[in-house]
Amino acid sequence: MAQPGREREKPPAPKAETGVDRTEKQAFVDDLHGSLKSAGTIVIAHYAGLTVSDLTDLRAKLRKAGAALKVSKNRLTKRALEGTAFTGLGPMLKGPTAIAFSEDVVAPAKVAVAFAKDHEKFVIVGGSMGDRTLDAAGVKALASMPSLDELRSKLIGLIMAPATKVAGVLMAPAGGLARVIGAYANKPQA
């Protein structure tokens, strides 16, 4: 029982959860900075209204194409962009933004544009290819280009086509000679 004239001491209030501490934020910024420094392209999009499963699906598609997706506070993303070729993207980081990036120049744009066609709440804001800033139309134009793998397969096809034709030309006389010999062999002897 409390004595008269003395107030009861209140227990100290529990400390509020502060979320991510400063060292974790710095580690995140450093990791993202390292990833962005080696990236060839970045695509920035707003994702407000997408479900967690939609974002998981987008991450899986990007991973399959050799790209990645990061969602973070814009302030941390701006800090990660400092010292990279993508520093001009800071003004695009407003609202709930996600960034897709990859060393392959075309992959993040292709996947993001295809995903935006199926999900109207995923809105492409812009991006960057090296130090060149792109608007939404520029990202869509980049997505229409063939990917690095597609270019490689076309190049191999072009290289292989002459070799196949040469082999066909060289084999044609031998095949013709074999048919003539076969015709004489099957001809009844007179």
Predicted confidence at residue 101, as pLDDT, reads 94
Third-level CATH fold of 24-145: Alpha-Beta Plaits (3.30.70)
Predicted confidence at residue 114, as pLDDT, reads 94
Predicted confidence at residue 69, as pLDDT, reads 94
Taking the C-alpha atoms of residue 60 and residue 68, their distance in angstroms, rounded to an integer, is 9
Phi, psi of 76 (to 5 degrees): -70, -40
- Cβ count within 10 A of residue 5: 5
Select from 94, 127, 103 the least CA-distant residue to 113. 127
pTM attached to this predicted model: 0.68
Predicted confidence at residue 3, as pLDDT, reads 57
Q: Which residues are bridge partners to 45 per DSSP?
A: 98, 124
Q: Which residues of the chain have pLDDT under 70?
A: 1-20, 161-185, 189-190
